[in-house]
Structure 1
Amino acid sequence: MKQIHYQEEQRFTQWWLWTLLLGIALPICHGLYQQLYLGKPYGSNPASNPTFIGFGLLYAGILWLFYVMRLRTKVTDKKIIIHFYPFLKREFLKNGITTAKVLKYGFVGGWGIRYWTKYGTVYNVKGNKGLYFKMNNGDKYLIGTQHPIALKKVLKALSWPIED
């Protein structure tokens, strides 16, 4: 593999997000405990035990997904590699990029993978700074970063088509 000149990994570590996710989990856990262990129906219209267990497992899966999701960005001499684990892996070749810019982009409808924004396809996990670039075929992309200055410096040093 080519030498990696820049590497970054971002995860969903926002305190408010985890407070919300775990706050939703508490009543689910309480209800499961009350209904399955204590044998007292949970709520005024309780779900059956298999339905409640299924819902609890589904929510545990959502929590696990947020825990393992990450955006990895790597820059080599010839390409940018992103891996939005566990969903996709993409490579963008240097010779396919016409222009690039590190910018502050504001809100694009949430975090994750966003399509059809004014920046094209957006890959972000947190924050509001990223590498925006256009491809030869007209496609546009934005990759979120927590280290915009370092990323820009590396791209300039490698003679990528980066604007100031």
Structure 2
Amino acid sequence: MAKFIFRETQRFNQTWIWAILVLVTGITFYGIFTQPVEGWDIIIPIIILGLVFMLFVSLQLKTRIDENGLSFSYFPLISQRKYSTDQIKKLELIEYNSLTKFGGWGIRFNFAMWGYNVGGKHGLIVTLKDKKFLIGTQKPEEMQKAIKQFEELKSA
């Protein structure tokens, strides 16, 4: 059997998120330049907005599944985490609503598991011996192939 390698890199590219960021930036700059402010009153909001923009530009969820196991990172907040095939008890692809299940997107906790997502409605529930977590995916068909390969490796 040929080895299937699942790779996915996701970013926050939803128009509404960027529209909100641009709107908040516009309102902030309007306030800065129409009010009599000086010094740090101008610099601090510009620095904060710059940092928020840099964060959203750099955020990316990377997932990889191969015959050795699963790895993912949520750069720049979470460095690469690796789980071998032996550590993983079960992989399950689900369809879900991130807003109702986790209260939104990003890195979330719903008192049952951690969720790592950037959008979409599909996710991979990874069950380990002592915990479980969800990684969002926008490639459910390819993810299903990776799960099938994982199940075949586990049963062999």
User: Which range, TM-score by smaller chain?
Assistant: 0.7 to 0.9
TM-score, normalised by the number of residues in structure 1: 0.81
CA shift for structure 1 position 47: 4.5
Q: Using the alignment, how far apart are the partners of 2:114 and 2:42 within structure 1?
A: 37
Structure in which a larger fraction of residues adopt helix: 2
* Residues 1:135 and 2:128 are matched in the alignment: yes
Q: Using the alignment, how far apart are the partners of 2:111 and 2:23 within structure 1?
A: 31
Query: Highest Rg: 1 or 2?
Result: 1
Q: 1:53 to 1:127 in 2, by over 3 A?
A: same
Which residue is 1:79 aligned to?
Answer: 69
* Residues 1:90 and 2:76 are matched in the alignment: no
Q: CA RMSD in A?
A: 1.9
Question: Structure 1 residue aligned with 2:107, among 109, 113, 124?
Answer: 113
CA shift for structure 1 position 75: 1.2
Residues 88-109 of structure 1: CA deviation (Å, up to 9, x unaligned): 1211221111122100121211
Q: Using the alignment, how far apart are the partners of 2:54 and 2:126 within structure 1?
A: 32
Which residue is 2:145 aligned to?
Answer: 153
Which residue is 1:144 aligned to?
Answer: 136
Which residue is 1:122 aligned to?
Answer: 115
CA shift for structure 1 position 160: 5.4
In structure 2, runs of 5+ residues without a counterpart are: none
| 1:36-55 matches, cutoff 5 A | 42=35, 47-55=37-45
Q: Using the alignment, how far apart are the partners of 2:136 and 2:85 within structure 1?
A: 18
Q: Secondary structure at the match of 2:41?
A: helix
Alpha-carbon contact 1:102-1:129 (below 8 Å) kept = yes
State the identity %.
27
Counterpart amino acid of residue 84 in structure 1: Y
Which residue is 1:63 aligned to?
Answer: 53
Residues 7-50 of structure 1: CA deviation (Å, up to 9, x unaligned): 00000000011001111111223344x3xxxxxx61xxx55431
Q: Using the alignment, how far apart are the partners of 2:108 and 2:153 within structure 1?
A: 25
Q: 1:160 to 1:110 in 2, by over 3 A?
A: farther
Aligned residues: 147
